Amino acid sequence: MRIATWNINGLRARLDYLCLWLASRAPDVVGLQELKLEADAFPHERFAELGYRAVVHSEKSWNGVAVLSREPARIIGEGLPGQEHFGARLIDVDVAGLRFATVYCPNGKSLDHADYERKLIWFDALTAYVARHWKPDQPAVLCGDFNIAPASLDSWQGGKGDGSLFHTEAERRRFGALLDTGLVDLYRQRHPDGSDFSWWDYRGGAFHRGHGLRIDTLLATARVYGRLQDVVIDRDFRKKQDGLTASDHAPVYADLSHD
């Protein structure tokens, strides 16, 4: 079974590109972030043609998350309790024998912006939600755009980025607290010394200069990690394909053996 996460930066703008990727990689379950459209405008038919169903938690203009899957998903939760004012950023489902949630974590904007403190609070709420509603002994996956580079290895700047947005101790403590609920970062666990990135700024030729961050990942419980065969950050799909513009994030996928 192949599971994946991808911040697509606008579903309307990315629909053809996303369909190319689905046909090429054939994932079974996909968490999508940054849909940037109202749920009513979600193109269910287009995905049905490719054999996928979708559950959607979204809003006009910004944010928005969805889960695509070959088997139907049952929604357990939409929105992070107490944090709904911060946008449509979480959907939590049961699908294909997994508890599967995808999140678009707040960016924070800058260290002196009010959204930075709100980002930290949002993470505290996410950790509390997982600790309260998830069981560490169940097969579960929490994936998405976390907007935190968990360690120096996850930044093109290495340790020189420490202290800046995405690289602060406060953000990294939150990411660690999330893992402490009983989750492992599948990419990092599989590639202890890997320095692959999942996001590159559109500006300044960042992709070609290797100026990226690893902020998108799949977190999972031991029940899932035990089935892990491989994790791939699909860098080719950060490039233009058939003249179509890519998202600023690459998809990340993992292959799991049968339970």
Partner DNA sequence: ATGTCTACTGATAGTAGA
> Where on the chain is the footprint of DNA (CB under 7 A)?
9-14, 36-37, 60-62, 106-107, 109, 115, 201-205, 245
- Smallest gap from Cβ 66 to DNA, in A, equals 13
Q: From the candidates 17, 92, 129, 145, which is the catalytic residue? A: 145
249 DSSP assignment: B
Q: Which CB, 14 or 172, lies closer to DNA? A: 14
At its nearest, how many Å lie between DNA and the CB of residue 118?
A: 11
**Cα torsion angle, 108, 112, 113, 116, sign:** positive
Cβ-count burial 193-213 (b if 16+ within 10 Å, e if not): eeebbbbbeeeeebbeeebbb
The tokens of 138 are what? 């169940």
Residue in 104, 116, 129, 253 annotated catalytic:
104
Here the tokens at position 24 are 């090429």
| Sheet-wide strand order for 140-145 | 74-78, 90-95, 98-104, 140-145, 216-220, 184-185
Phi, then psi, of 202 in degrees rounded to 5: -65, -25
User: Among residues 106 and 150, whose Cβ is nearest to DNA?
Assistant: 106
Decide if 52 is catalytic: no
Q: Does 104 participate in catalysis according to the annotation?
A: yes
Q: Which is nearer to DNA, 107 or 152 (CB)?
A: 107
Judged by beta carbon, residue 43 or residue 77, the one nearer DNA is: 43
CB of 244 vs DNA, minimal distance in Å: 8
Instruction: Report, in Å, the least distance between residue 109 CB and DNA.
Output: 5
Active site residues per annotation? 104, 145
